Structure 1
Amino acid sequence: MQQEQNAISNFVLYGAESNAPHDDMVHYEPISLRASLFDFEIKPHVHRALIQVLYITHGGGETSIDGRTWTFQAPCLIAVPAQSVHNFHFANDIEGHVVTAAQPALESVIMALAPDLLEFVRTPAVLSGILNLDKGTPLETVFQSIRQETLVDARWQLAAGAARMIALFVKVGRLSESAKLAANPEQRTLADRIEKFRALLDKHCRERRAVGEYAKDMGVTTGQLSRICHAAFGTSAIEAIDARSIHEAKRLLGYSTMSVKQIANELGFQDEAYFGRFFRKQVGERPTEYRSTAQERFLLG
């Protein structure tokens, strides 16, 4: 086994061995550029500290990552973490993008911003058939922005590259979760209901609506809505409604010139005193105290 491991080539980029450090690199190239140099056969190899993400836009092939084999067809997203032994057999008409980045540097930034994304940085993934569920910035745009940044020689290029790689792994994480839901119809139904409830909360956050009204709009019973909230937020339905109302109250207190009385009316409360008691119970401060603290932070920041 040790001899077999030693036989695996360690590349910076496939076919380009180097002992130079690449801790700050973010590299982009079209998939076909390197694949065509090796007759579209990329033999088993490993990248010591580099992670690669491929976005297949045309064609297909087969890949093996750490002993697991996938057949893929465009559109498809493939993530290969550092230290993963992998190979590719590409169709001759393969097209798409591949980015390579220093995984330790990427992980240090993600640890500070979104630690739960680390799972997707460290886990091999082949995601196909669910790219139609992608939301937000299109994958093509994300890869093109990485490509564009690598073409310029400007200040803060490392920071710009890291930011774009984080955006890419947000996509990887979202699509990975969508893939899990797609494989579990019950989870998919739950996710759809959670998304609908969130949309209703956003729409009606300035109204003091009862749990029953939300349940009716969703076509479920109040008991079902309560179970949905416990599954999604770990709270009851009324606690989720109150939390969204408080979020809106904080936003208005911090960023508007409306009086507390006007905010209470705007959010559907009976009067200013009732709103004040509600806010203090939820936040631990009076609305005026919260506004003063928020404005101080704004002036200092």
Structure 2
Amino acid sequence: MSLKTTTSEVPSTDFYGESTLWPVTDLVYSEQLSLRSALYDWQIKPHKHQDLMQIFYVESGSGSAQVDDRSLQIASGDLLVVPDQCVHTFRWAENSSGYVLFIARPLITKLDSVIGPLPWCHGNANCFPLGDDQSFIITLLTALHRECEGNQPDREISLENQALSLFIWLKRQHCQSTSENQRHKHKSQHKLDKFIHLLEEHHCQQHSVNWYAKSIGVSAPHLNSLCKHYRQQTALGLIHQRLLSEAQRQLIYTNKTAAEIADMLGFADAAYFSRFFKRLSGVAPKTFRHQDTRSP
């Protein structure tokens, strides 16, 4: 499936294929996976969501996804989390079924304050096999979907509580996948999660390592130690890698010039941006764009 777009920007939408705006009174929305996919012959073209995270549950069937620069295979019984701003496209097997949840940013922020940092809500997509919890998740998602479609008293409270249950499950899976099996993460891991969260929000401002360290309450050398221990990179290296990732995303999925991307990412000029990009990727921005078949 071609991922090329014909516009200067990857479409940013609330609901794929529609101009309908997100209903501001709801922070959670659920629909059947087949509802939208079947309308488009089970192929969803590249797009992104501004302030909406999506969670895909595949009850039957399968699919393949391209999320930014990652290719993912989604099997029956998988739960795929796609954070906002990720450019994504899908090819679903015909007659696949399941649910698609839309979670608005204000609710993510609220849940983040309740159960702690949620790194899987930011940055890269994550796929979680349900395993022995499949029955529990199906019951939860079915109840959430029914609540979304209904108009029962205390509907908003019910939706938020069901979303909270789902997020707690996801957090536990994330902890297990990173060998953090305790309910409360180690203090140093918690600090690193806060740094990654801030980096995701502020990478375009090109803040210094000292700024990030002060924001999470540690010294710059301590932050560097955390990054080296858990990510095998320095803090500055992670900052630069996030900038490079965003630059590559813009080069692949938009028609923005190098100068426009440089300005968006906080570089003084296009020449400085080009040198930065080539130093980290090995090729100039123009060459990278021409080499990638997904570029518009």
State the TM-score, normalized to the length of structure 1.
0.53
Question: Is 1:132 equivalent to 2:131 in the alignment?
Answer: yes
Aligned residue identity for 2:169: K
How far residue 119 of structure 1 moved from its aligned partner, in angstroms, is 1.4
Assess, with a 3 A threshold, how the Cα gap between structure 1 residues 25 and 110 changes in structure 2: closer, same or farther: closer
In structure 2, what is the equivalent of residue 115 of structure 1? Answer: 116
- Whole-Å Cα distance in 2 between the matches of residues 89 and 126 of structure 1? 17
In structure 2, what is the equivalent of residue 49 of structure 1? Answer: 51
- Whole-Å Cα distance in 2 between the matches of residues 9 and 39 of structure 1? 19
In structure 1, what is the equivalent of residue 90 of structure 2? Answer: 88
In structure 1, what is the equivalent of residue 100 of structure 2? Answer: 98
- Whole-Å Cα distance in 2 between the matches of residues 5 and 67 of structure 1? 19
- Whole-Å Cα distance in 2 between the matches of residues 177 and 39 of structure 1? 37
In structure 2, what is the equivalent of residue 73 of structure 1? Answer: 75
Matched-pair contact (CA < 8 Å) for 1:76–1:126: no
Aligned residue identity for 1:131: L
In structure 2, what is the equivalent of residue 142 of structure 1? Answer: 140
Assess, with a 3 A threshold, how the Cα gap between structure 1 residues 21 and 48 changes in structure 2: closer, same or farther: farther
Answer 1 or 2: higher relative contact order, Cα 8 Å, separation at least 6.
2
Structure 2 unaligned spans of 5+: 184-296
- Whole-Å Cα distance in 2 between the matches of residues 4 and 58 of structure 1? 33
Aligned residue identity for 1:12: D
Moved over 6 A (4+): none
Please identify the structure whose Cα radius of gyration is greater.
1
In structure 1, what is the equivalent of residue 250 of structure 2? Answer: none
How far residue 86 of structure 1 moved from its aligned partner, in angstroms, is 0.8
State the TM-score, normalized to the length of structure 2.
0.54
Matched-pair contact (CA < 8 Å) for 1:127–1:179: no
Matched-pair contact (CA < 8 Å) for 1:30–1:98: yes
| Cα displacement string for residues 148-186 of structure 1 (whole angstroms, at most 9, x for unaligned residues) | 2112213432222122112111122222333344xxxxx
TM-align CA RMSD: 2.7
- Whole-Å Cα distance in 2 between the matches of residues 124 and 4 of structure 1? 25
Structure with the bigger percentage of helix: 1
| Cα displacement string for residues 27-71 of structure 1 (whole angstroms, at most 9, x for unaligned residues) | 111101110000000011011111110111111111111221111
How far residue 8 of structure 1 moved from its aligned partner, in angstroms, is 0.8
Matched-pair contact (CA < 8 Å) for 1:78–1:125: yes
SS of the counterpart of 2:121?
A: helix
SS of the counterpart of 2:63?
A: strand
SS of the counterpart of 1:113?
A: helix
- Whole-Å Cα distance in 2 between the matches of residues 90 and 125 of structure 1? 17
In structure 1, what is the equivalent of residue 161 of structure 2? Answer: 163
